[in-house]
Amino acid sequence: MSDEKKETKEESIAILIKKYANRRLYHTVRSCYVTLEDLSQMVKDGVDFIVQDAKSGEDITRSVLNQIIFDAENNGNMMLPTPFLREIIKLYGDSMESFVPSYLENAMKNFMSHQDQIRESFAKNPAMLGFEQLSKMNSDWINQSMKMFGAIAQVPISEPAEKSSSTDTELQELKTQLREMQDKLSKLVND
């Protein structure tokens, strides 16, 4: 276990990182300058830290974490799909804005708690998870998140009758195509 992890767990305080006007980040425990990549690794290692503006003392942790995400997205690690980002932007100023942070936090906690199941599913079928299984897991996670809030009723979403039959046909076609692709990939992996 790294010294940073020991200190953080034993003292239950976050490491202070100071950001100077020249945009340099100073690790106050190790007494050295660090990069955004270093901070990213600290997050991955579970090391808690706070980034503070050296001059004003303002907590700028959120903006630095956003910068780490922005840099990762620009470097080709596109985890946040464009439609998702558009929906987030639409929610700023909306009456649901105050609900979104806690919903996303709980959704991420649910996702993290199911990581082992997801990895196990990928290990069983390296090609991909079946759409049905993935949809069910996603639906379960959303329902669990909604139960945590209690304020929002769980209303089943249903499509109008005329759209339902064409959607069912399209879904069946997609399932068939998916099975065929999985069979082909399994044959390739086994060969």
Write the pLDDT tens digit of every residue in 21-75: 988 999 999 999 999 999 999 999 999 999 999 999 999 999 999 999 999 999 8
Q: Can you give the pLDDT at residue 173?
A: 76
pTM greater than 0.75 (yes/no):
no
What's the DSSP call for residue 126?
A: T
Q: Convert 172-188 to b/e letters by CB count within 10 Å (16 or more is b).
A: eeeeeeeeeeeeeeeee
Q: Note the pLDDT of residue 149.
A: 55
pLDDT on residue 28 = 95
How many angstroms from the chain centroid is the CA of residue 183?
Answer: 30
What number is the average pLDDT over the span 161-189?
66
> How much is the pLDDT for 37?
95
Q: In this structure, are residues 28 and 18 in contact, taking their beta carbons and an 8 Å threshold? A: yes
pLDDT one-digit tens code per residue, 78-133: 888 889 889 999 999 988 888 889 888 988 888 888 887 777 777 776 555 555 56
Task: Report DSSP state, residue 14.
Answer: P
Quick one: pLDDT at residue 108? 87
> Which of 44, 83, 183, 76 has its CA nearest to residue 127?
183
Predicted confidence at residue 107, as pLDDT, reads 87
pLDDT beyond 70 at 189: no
Task: List the alpha helices (DSSP H) in 21-99.
Answer: 36-44, 61-74, 82-91
